[in-house]
């Protein structure tokens, strides 16, 4: 950026023109030392569900950062589709008559977050549907039973057609709790087991065979090189065809919120909760801009350029889009089949 190049120039001038240029930078430790900033505030920020290492480095450590020139995804295209002014916190009838929801879930544990993407799909008369990312939720390093409770509660708020969930490694642990009855010991609430859509071998059916089932809701994604390649390419295709809609950036969202009486009357906690999906969308962007392409044969492999930046939200994002593609491809085949028969005449 211009500012970064100008800083480099001034750093050089500081050496060759010591009387004319001076560059000074600092971290959060200086205001803490002089009691202008509470250390607890910084610690709470690091532990918050929206914490992002790279963003914290920019704002509190004076570290410069930006998107890579060789990033697999395009930052301008991501920003182009940040047009949603409000998140959705439950099922909404807004949209066309056939709209539906899909969750994409990437599972984390032991310091990593579980990310839950909420997509709202509006099918179109021609072509594929419009996919709006209407909310993002996270579960912070909680026991799988607690994560299952969070996910099941969210299901009853949005009633999605399916939950596309990572079932490799840690994901298998969460699935084990999702396919069995779950009880909240604090409130006494019980949630029925969720069935598996693609359980061809019947590996999970035995866990809920004798129980009342909510329905076959879980689509298990056991990613391999071929599936990853298809999922990566699908994300690019959805963006390039203009079929994705995302929430506006958090600065714009905050300005809009504070321009209303409702926003000004909110408690700081309520305001932070409202802003969370917008912040998490920006973190999703940062994760995507940190991915660079590596070719392994015919497959696209995405590697993180900065290992401090996670990719859990991106994984959940592409899992959701991947399952929506499966639904749309299936629907396209059905419509093609019926359309052909409609034009057959016999005499």
What pLDDT shows up at residue 215? 85
For tokens 């700081």, the residue is 268
What pLDDT shows up at residue 296? 82
Contact 302, 291 (CB under 8 A): yes
* 345: in domain: no
- The number of folded domains in the chain is 2
Query: Are 111 and 194 members of one domain?
Result: yes
Give phi and psi for 43, each to the nearest 5.
-65, -40
Q: Higher-confidence residue: 40 or 344?
A: 40
263-302 per-residue burial string, b: 16 or more CB within 10 A, e: under 16: beebeeeebeebbbbbbbbbbbbbbbbbbbeeeeeebbbb
Look at residue 28 and tell me whether its pLDDT is greater than 80: no
pLDDT in tens, 75-130: 999 999 999 999 999 999 988 889 999 999 999 866 678 999 999 999 988 888 99
What pLDDT shows up at residue 25? 76
Contact 194, 217 (CB under 8 A): yes
Q: What mean pLDDT do residues 45-53 have?
A: 60
What pLDDT shows up at residue 89? 96
Give phi and psi for 198, each to the nearest 5.
-105, 55
Query: Are 88 and 18 members of one domain?
Result: no
Q: Higher-confidence residue: 223 or 323?
A: 323
Residue 228's domain is classified under what CATH number?
A: 3.30.420.240
Look at residue 74 and tell me whether its pLDDT is greater than 80: yes
Nearest to 223 by CA among 119, 310, 299, 307: 299
Beta bridge partners of 194: none
Query: CB-based burial of residue 157 (10 Å sphere; 0-12 exposed, 13-18 middle, 19+ buried)?
Result: middle
Q: Considering the chain, what is the average pLDDT of its residues?
A: 86
Query: Are 326 and 283 members of one domain?
Result: yes
* 256: in domain: yes
What pLDDT shows up at residue 11? 73
Look at residue 294 and tell me whether its pLDDT is greater than 90: no
Query: How many CB atoms neighbour CB 146 within 10 A?
Result: 15
Look at residue 65 and tell me whether its pLDDT is greater than 80: no
Q: d(Cα 308, Cα 52) in Å, to the nearest integer?
A: 9
Q: d(Cα 249, Cα 141) in Å, to the nearest integer?
A: 26
**Domain span at 315:** 75-336
Question: Residue 341: pLDDT band by 50, 70, 90 thresholds?
Answer: very low
Query: Are 47 and 186 members of one domain?
Result: no
pLDDT in tens, 295-318: 888 889 999 998 888 899 999 999
The structure tokens listed for 346 are 């016999």
Look at residue 156 and tell me whether its pLDDT is greater than 90: yes
The whole-model pTM stands at 0.80
Question: Residue 210: pLDDT band by 50, 70, 90 thresholds?
Answer: confident
* 344: in domain: no
Q: What mean pLDDT do residues 29-52 have?
A: 71
Query: Are 131 and 271 members of one domain?
Result: yes
Contact 321, 234 (CB under 8 A): yes
Nearest to 315 by CA among 47, 149, 175, 136: 136
């Amino acid at each position: 950026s211009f500012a970064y190049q100008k800083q480099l120039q001034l750093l050089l001038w500081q050496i060759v023109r010591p009387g004319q240029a001076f560059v000074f930078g600092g971290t959060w430790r200086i205001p803490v030392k002089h009691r202008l900033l509470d250390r607890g505030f910084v610690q709470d920020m690091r532990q918050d569900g929206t914490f992002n290492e790279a963003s914290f480095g920019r704002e509190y450590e004076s570290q410069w950062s930006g998107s890579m020139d060789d990033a697999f995804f395009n930052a301008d295209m991501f920003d182009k589709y940040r047009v949603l002014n409000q998140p959705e916190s439950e099922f909404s009838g807004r949209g066309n008559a056939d709209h539906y929801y899909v969750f994409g879930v990437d599972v984390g544990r032991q310091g990593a977050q579980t990310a839950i993407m909420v997509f709202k799909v509006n099918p179109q008369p021609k072509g594929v549907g419009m996919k709006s990312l209407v909310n993002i939720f996270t579960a912070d390093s909680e026991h799988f039973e607690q994560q299952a409770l969070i996910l099941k509660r969210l299901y009853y708020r949005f009633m999605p057609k399916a939950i596309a969930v990572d079932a490799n490694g840690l994901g298998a642990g969460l699935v084990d709790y999702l396919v069995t009855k779950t009880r909240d010991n604090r409130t006494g609430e019980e949630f029925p087991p969720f069935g598996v859509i693609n359980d061809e071998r019947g590996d999970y059916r035995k866990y809920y065979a004798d129980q009342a089932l909510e329905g076959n809701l879980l689509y298990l994604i056991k990613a391999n090189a071929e599936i990853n390649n298809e999922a990566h390419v699908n994300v690019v295709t959805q963006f390039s065809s203009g079929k994705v809609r995302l929430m506006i950036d958090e600065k714009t969202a905050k300005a809009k919120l504070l321009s209303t009486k409702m926003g000004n009357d909110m408690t700081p906690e309520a305001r932070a909760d409202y802003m969370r999906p917008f912040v998490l969308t920006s973190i999703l962007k940062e994760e995507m801009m940190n991915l660079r392409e590596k070719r392994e044969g015919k497959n696209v492999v995405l590697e993180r350029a900065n290992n401090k930046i996670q990719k859990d939200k991106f994984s959940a994002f592409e899992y959701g889009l991947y399952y929506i593609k499966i639904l749309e491809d299936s629907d396209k085949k059905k419509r093609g089949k019926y359309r052909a028969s409609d034009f057959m005449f016999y005499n």
